[in-house]
Amino acid sequence: MSHEVTPTAAPERSDDVRLLLRFWPLLIGFAVLAAPTFQALGKQVWSRESGAHGPIILATGAWLLWRAVPTMREEGRPGSPWLTALLMALSLACYVFGRAFDFISLEALGLYGVAATMIQAHLGLRTMFRHWFQFFYLGFAIPPPQWFLDQVTGPLKQFVSHVSTGTLSALGIPLSREGVTIYVAQYQLLVEDACSGMNSLTGLTAISLFYIYLLRGSSVKYSLLLTAFVIPIAVAGNIVRVMTLILLTYFFGDEVAQGFLHYTAGFFLFVIDLILVFLLDNLLIKLVPKSWRPA
């Protein structure tokens, strides 16, 4: 009895390796640019709770892009040299300016632009648009500028602290609030950026989109719909987090609330938020019109 041997993806992947070896000078040049940026991101952004999702997005986004390489190579055509030169000049200018003046957001944006321009030069804009999700998803790894975070998290911090103190006051917990500062017993708590919902919002949105893409496929309408529900889920989760920290402070003291349990509560509630997103997805996929459902 003869057995038919089915081809595997190994030859395609070996071609990908040969492609990397072919462009090794460009890859080394990109690595020289990327190394100091990653080091700065590690110190300034990824080491903080508000930016901890960055490495996860970078790793999963790179995996999504690598997975799409065989299809992109079949569809791709070299991009316009003039467009490549223009995009590379703009990206390098953004990178150099951000690097020189310590604007990590501009530096990361410039590095992202350099990588995207290199792909455009080899595969063309049309192919990149067909695989838009991978590039959009990787954009979540670029840290937003601090002035933007201040503008967005300011109202969120006010709202989170107002709802948290109002709810606990109604339950008989003696506390007061001045802006984003909460006074409970002899302790003073400050609702920081990490508790405002912004970090949960960014991480939840990115991971939710990653989940939709893997399980459902890419759909702009459905992705926007689920993202709209992610926002209240993230904010509600941080309200519960602040209330939890207030109760821990009131009953067990500031050392317990601001120590290990502070980060444990944040991680636990993020997992709960993520589970709620998954449950919501399974409900929405049954309710939305067929034209909105991912292919």
pLDDT in tens, 256-286: 666 655 667 667 777 888 888 888 888 888 8
Report pLDDT for 295. 58
**Pseudo-torsion of CA 34, 38, 44, 45, nearest 10°?**
110
Residue 276 counted as domain residue: yes
Interval 117-162: pLDDT, tens: 999 998 999 999 999 889 999 999 999 887 887 777 778 878 888 8
Among candidate residues 126, 195, 216, 293, the one labeled active-site is 195
- Which residues are registered as beta bridge partners of 182? 177, 189
Would residue 237 count as lying in a domain?
yes
Calpha distance 52→134 (Å, rounded): 20
Q: By the 8 A CB rule, do 91 and 115 touch?
A: no
Q: Which residues contact 172 (CB under 8 A, 6 or more apart)?
A: none
Report the sign of the C-alpha dihedral through residues 212, 227, 223, 61, in that order: negative
Q: Which two tokens stand for residue 204?
A: 């939840």
Residue 174 lies in a domain: yes
The amino acid present at 135, given as its one-letter code, is F
Same domain, residue pair 58 and 181: no
Residue closest to 181 by CA, chosen among 195, 191, 167, 169: 191
- pLDDT for position 19: 57
**Residue ranges making up the domain that contains 180:** 147-292
Q: Is residue 1 part of a domain?
A: no
Q: Is residue 2 part of a domain?
A: no
Query: How many other C-beta atoms are found inside a 10 Å radius of the C-beta of residue 293?
Result: 15
Residue 111 lies in a domain: yes
Least confident of 86-95, 123-132, 183-192, 204-213: 183-192
Query: Do 78 and 42 share a domain, yes or no?
Result: yes
**Within a domain: residue 5?**
no
Q: Is 241 a catalytic residue?
A: yes
Q: Which of 83, 112, 143 is the last residue of a domain?
A: 143
- In terms of domains, do 87 and 109 share one? yes
The enclosing H or E element of 189 equals strand 187-190
The pLDDT tens digits of the residues spanning 30-70 come to 999 999 999 999 998 888 767 778 898 999 999 999 899 88
Q: Rounded to an integer, what distance in angstroms lies between the CA atom of residue 186 and that of residue 244? A: 17
The answer to whether 200 and 267 have CB atoms below 8 angstroms apart is no
Based on the domain organization, do 66 and 84 belong to the same domain? Answer: yes
Rounded Cα–Cα distance for residues 76 and 291 (Å): 29
Q: Which two tokens stand for residue 30?
A: 């990109």
User: Which one of 126, 177, 241, 293 is the catalytic residue?
Assistant: 241
Domain identity same for 34 and 138: yes
Residues 53 and 115 in one domain: yes
Is 74 in contact with 52 (CB distance < 8 Å)? no
Report which of residues 194 and 289 the model is more confident about: 289
Do 151 and 287 fall into the same domain?
yes
User: Are 87 and 30 members of one domain?
Assistant: yes
Tell the residue number behind the tokens 């791709």, with chain if given. 76
Residues 138 and 165 in one domain: no
Instruction: Give the chain's domain count.
Output: 2
- Chosen domain end from 81, 116, 143: 143
User: CB within 8 A of 175, min separation 6: which ones?
Assistant: 165, 168, 169, 182, 183, 184, 185, 246, 250
Of 143, 166, 187, the last residue of a domain is 143
Task: Classify burial at 101, counting beta carbons within 10 Å of its beta carbon; exposed 0-12, middle 13-18, buried 19 or more.
Answer: exposed
Q: Is residue 65 part of a domain?
A: yes
Say if residue 288 is in the same domain as residue 159: yes
Tell me, yes or no, whether 104 and 218 share the same domain.
no
Q: Are residues 151 and 277 in the same domain?
A: yes
Q: Has 195 been annotated as catalytic?
A: yes
